[in-house]
Amino acid sequence: MRLSPVAFHHAFRRFQKIHRREDRAYLDSFRNPQAYVHRMEDYKEGVARQAERILDAERWAHREIGQGRILRSVIAAIEQPGNNLLQWDARFGAQGRVHRRLLEAENQRRLRKELEAVFFDLYARHRADGDKFEHLAFLCGKRYELIAYLFFIADRHAFLPIRTTCFDRAFTELGLELKTTRQCSWSNYRAYLEVMHRVRSALTDEGIIEPSLLDAHSFCWLLATDGRTKERRMPPRVRGHLRLFTGVILEVSSKPGSPAADRAVNDCVVDMQAVGERRIAAGRVAEEIALKEEQNRLLHYGRPSLARRVKLVSDRPGLGYDIRSFEHDGAPRHIEVKHIGQRSAFFLSRHEWLQSQKLQNYWFYLVRSTEATQPRVERLSADRLTIEHLVPTQYLVQWNDA
């Protein structure tokens, strides 16, 4: 299930607005103890750790299955104070308690024995798999919230809790079609976890420092539960303005040695590592916009079959371009996507430069966006560029100590 960089960028900007509203600062790390999201969400790790201590599954013995101690330990791990990862208390009546079947099993010998056998495999033998998930769904009813929590405390690094209604709202904002409400199954849970891994990766691309899978959970939870509902649901297509980040290496619109070129060099005296982190997310958003633009170009020429064959190949850096496309007559077109702001300038690697001079029909698609403008794509043929347009910003230094 593909996570749209554009939709995620919009959602991430709203997340940062929420964080700045509450904390007067943008978030750089979920590990920052002073950060709003840390204060609100860090308890989840503590709940999992406390559950592990309550279970004490390393001391369980197989002969205890059916006697009730294992079941009571699991119930205690659910009912620990401060645990709001699932609805376990009786605020909505006894029937509303998500672990009602576990409570009933205390007085039902057969059910108790079956449940304890599953819990022994799950916690003492560390066998968290699809069979255990489906077996619990059969014994407890399809209580997604309960079963996800039981898996989460079995391995907090591999599994996550879930509140289906909230996460479905977050997935809608992210442009995803995944639905979890009334979809309790191992396959759906695996799809949910895969999405959260993609969210974690996208947070890294946006510059968040080493986010965890549980941080991705917190990100989606905060999006879905924020009180400002007017901004909550964002369609997957481009909407509003994008604020992306880039640097300067190629000054296309200036003559070599001009004041503008000199400013380009001075502009590059920045923290290149910080710029690089932000360029990852900016580049992926720009690629998605350029890909759609290229497909529309071929559709305009009445070539839908070619439009369907346009492919993003940026995951193969050795090619030296990002999109493999076609001219309207079927000849190949090679496209390198760059994000630019107000200035017509962008970074260019040595390999990309050589490929642009070597390959026929090589184009730069410049996705121009600022805080005040909608993104638009400008096409620049590599034939228009010469070595004189390059402005050096970094040098490789080699020396021999001998």
Contact between 329 and 306 under an 8 Å Cβ cutoff? The reply is no
Q: Are residues 92 and 196 in the same domain?
A: yes
Q: Which residues contact 144 (CB under 8 A, 6 or more apart)?
A: 162, 164, 180, 183, 184, 189
Q: Are residues 220 and 272 in the same domain?
A: no
Q: Are residues 223 and 258 in the same domain?
A: no
pLDDT in tens, 94-129: 777 899 999 999 999 999 999 999 999 999 999 999
Q: What's the domain range around 260? A: 250-389
pLDDT in tens, 171-209: 999 999 999 999 999 999 999 999 999 999 999 988 888
Q: Are residues 15 and 147 in the same domain?
A: yes
What's the rounded Cα separation, in Å, for the pair 284 and 290?
10
pTM: 0.67
377-399 in b/e form (b: 16+ CB < 10 A) is beebebeebeeebbbebeeeeee
168, burial (CB in 10 Å: exposed 0-12, middle 13-18, buried 19+): middle
What's the rounded Cα separation, in Å, for the pair 102 and 115?
8
Residue 400 in domain: no
Q: Are residues 375 and 269 in the same domain?
A: yes
169 vs 344, which has greater pLDDT? 169
Q: Are residues 332 and 261 in the same domain?
A: yes
Contact between 7 and 174 under an 8 Å Cβ cutoff? The reply is yes
Residue 73 in domain: yes
For the chain, what is the domain count? 2
pLDDT the model gives residue 370: 59
Residue 279 in domain: yes
Q: Are residues 200 and 282 in the same domain?
A: no
What's the rounded Cα separation, in Å, for the pair 203 and 223?
13
Domain termination residue (choose one: 231, 260, 281): 231
Q: Are residues 269 and 152 in the same domain?
A: no
**CATH at residue 306:** 3.40.1350
pLDDT in tens, 127-180: 999 999 999 999 999 999 999 999 999 999 999 999 999 999 999 999 999 999
- Angle at the Cα of 224 from the Cα atoms of 218 and 230, rounded to 5 degrees: 140
pLDDT the model gives residue 227: 58
* Residue 389 token pair: 């347009």
Of 299, 308, 381, 283, which Cα lies nearest the Cα of 5? 283
Contact between 246 and 375 under an 8 Å Cβ cutoff? The reply is no
Q: Are residues 113 and 155 in the same domain?
A: yes
